[in-house]
Structure 1
Amino acid sequence: MAAVVLVHGLYHRPAHFALVAEPLRTAGTEVVVPELHKGSLSADTAVVQAVIDSLPEPPIVLGHSYGGSVITGLRGAGHLVYLAAFVPDVGESAATLGGASPQLQDAINPEPDGSTSLYPDRAADTLYSDCPEPLAACAVGLLRTQASGCGRGIPERHSWKHAPSTYIVCTQDRAIDPVLQRKMALRCTYVREWQTGHSPFVGQPDLIVELLQELLAANTSRQPDDGVTTAR
């Protein structure tokens, strides 16, 4: 069985994926959640590439938000999952594609050293608006500062042109406009829409677990069975 690699977005940590990783591991799937925050898109991509290179077969790789830029630059993924994520083409970055929504931009707190953090109350309302309050509070507590410039990084290759991919549009997202998500989803092989906010790995992790188990059980070159439409 292929492994699963979960790639978090800006300000996030591997621990944000705990409610997805734990049930998959309990079911016998190898799950790797790399720590990003290496200072640039190229450095973050290299960390995830090293994980993929260490695995015995091509894994399913899920990227959330900025994590979409990271997984776009990879080699050797068996199936890509873009979760409310950026899908850059040649010369594009997350920033040039549209970047953060005005609400997310308003939640950003500039730090004296040039990094940024998120105001906790605004982060909760933007990233975890549909999550139960205790889970949202826990997720906000895990957020960390972010080095500047990662969102302006341009991937060196474009894995969605070489591997099958599924885009998840989060229709209640307040961090990345769902209209922009649908536009980027046109670059992927399959699309499905979930009635969630930006972070279903916190509020509705079962949706992600079920999707990944479906992909694990299927030939990754085939279209998943439930609710998936061909996008290109």
Structure 2
Amino acid sequence: MAAVVLVHGLYHRPEHFAVVAERLRTAGTEVVVPELHRGSLAADTAAVQAVIDALPEPPIVLGHSYGGSVITGVHGAGHLVYLAAFVLDAGESAASLGGASPQLQNAIITEPDGSTSLHPDRAINALYGDCPEPIAAQAVDLLRPQAPGCGRGVPQRHAWKTTSSTYVVCAQDRAVDPDLQRRMASRCTDVREWQTDHSPFVGQPDLVVELLRELLAKSKSVRRSMSAAQQGS
């Protein structure tokens, strides 16, 4: 079975995907959740590429929000999933496409060293608006400061042009405009739309797990068909 690589967005940590990862692992799927925050889009992309390169077969790679900028630059994925994420073309960055909504921008606090963090109460409203209060509070506690400049990074590759992809529009998103998501989704092979906020892996993890299980099953079916064809040739 193909592995799953989960790529978080700005301010987030691998721990935000804990529920999704645990449920997939319980079903026997290998899941890797690399830590970003390497200081630049290029460094973050290299960290994810190293994970993909270490796996025995092409994985399903999901990127959330800024994580879409990261997975756009990788090669060797079996399928890409953009979850309310940035699907960038040549010369584009997350910032140049519109980046954070005014609501999310209002939550950003600039630190003396140039890094930014999120105001806790405003972050709940922007990122976790449809989550139960205790779960939203836990998610906010996990958020970490973000080095400057990552959102302005431009990927050197555009994996969605050669790799099958699924875009998930989060229709109640208050961090990345759903209309911008729909425009970016037109670049992908398949499009889904969920009535969720920006972070369904926190508030509605079953949706994410079910999608990934569906894609894993399709990947397995394709591999079986290819194997049968090779044996018959």
Q: TM-score by structure 1 length?
A: 0.94
SS in 2 for 1:176: coil
For residue 74 of structure 1, what is the amino acid of its counterpart? V
Written as runs of structure 1 = structure 2, the 5 A alignment for 1:114-129 is: 114-129=114-129
Q: 1:41: how far off?
A: 0.0
SS in 1 for 2:95: helix
Match of 2:89 in 1: 89
Residue 43 of structure 1 aligns with which residue? 43
Counterpart check, 1:136 vs 2:142: no
Q: Write the distance in 2 (CA, Å) between the matches of 1:173 and 1:200.
A: 10
User: Which whole-Å CA distance do the structure 2 matches of 1:164 and 1:180 have between them?
Assistant: 20
Corresponding residue for 2:215?
Answer: 215
The CA distance in 2 between the partners of 1:117 and 1:32, in whole Å, is 25
How far the C-alpha of 1:21 sits from its partner, in A, is 0.2
1:105 aligns with 2:110: no
- 8 Å CA contact 1:93, 1:152 repeated in 2: yes
1:65-76 equivalences in 2 (<5 Å): 65-76=65-76
Contact 2:69 2:87 in 1 (8 A): yes
- State the SS of the aligned residue for 1:212: helix
Paired residues of 2:2 and 2:219 also in contact (CA < 8 A): no
Pairing 1:177–2:177 present: yes
After superposition, the Cα gap between the structure-2 partners of 1:221 and 1:68, relative to the gap in structure 1 and judged at 3 Å, is farther
AA paired with 2:52?
I
Structure-2 separation of matches of 1:186 and 1:216: 23
Structure 2 distance, partners of 1:119, 1:102, is 14
Match of 2:150 in 1: 150
Q: Give the count of matched residue pairs.
A: 222
- Aligned match of 1:6: 6
- Give me the whole-angstrom Cα distance separating, in 1, the residues matched to 2:96 and 2:189: 22
Contact 1:9 1:64 in 2 (8 A): yes
Unmatched segments (≥5 aa) in structure 1 = 223-232
Check the 8 A contact 1:200/1:207 in 2, yes or no: yes
Runs of 4 or more, structure 1, over 2 Å off, are 219-222
Match of 1:229 in 2: none
TM (normalized to structure 2)? 0.94
Contact kept? 1:66, 1:151, Cα under 8 Å: yes
- SS in structure 1 of the partner of residue 219 of structure 2: coil
The 1:220–1:125 alpha-carbon spacing in structure 2 relative to 1, beyond 3 Å, is farther
**In 1, distance between residues paired with 2:28 and 2:146?**
33
Deviation at 1:220, TM superposition (A): 7.7
Partner of 2:226: none
Q: Which has the larger radius of gyration?
A: 2
Shift of 1:140: 0.2
- 1:13·1:142 contact (CA, 8 Å) conserved in 2? yes
Choose between structure 1 and 2: higher helix proportion: 2
| Cα drift, residue 221 of structure 1 | 9.7
- For the pair 1:56 / 2:81, whether they are aligned, the reply is no
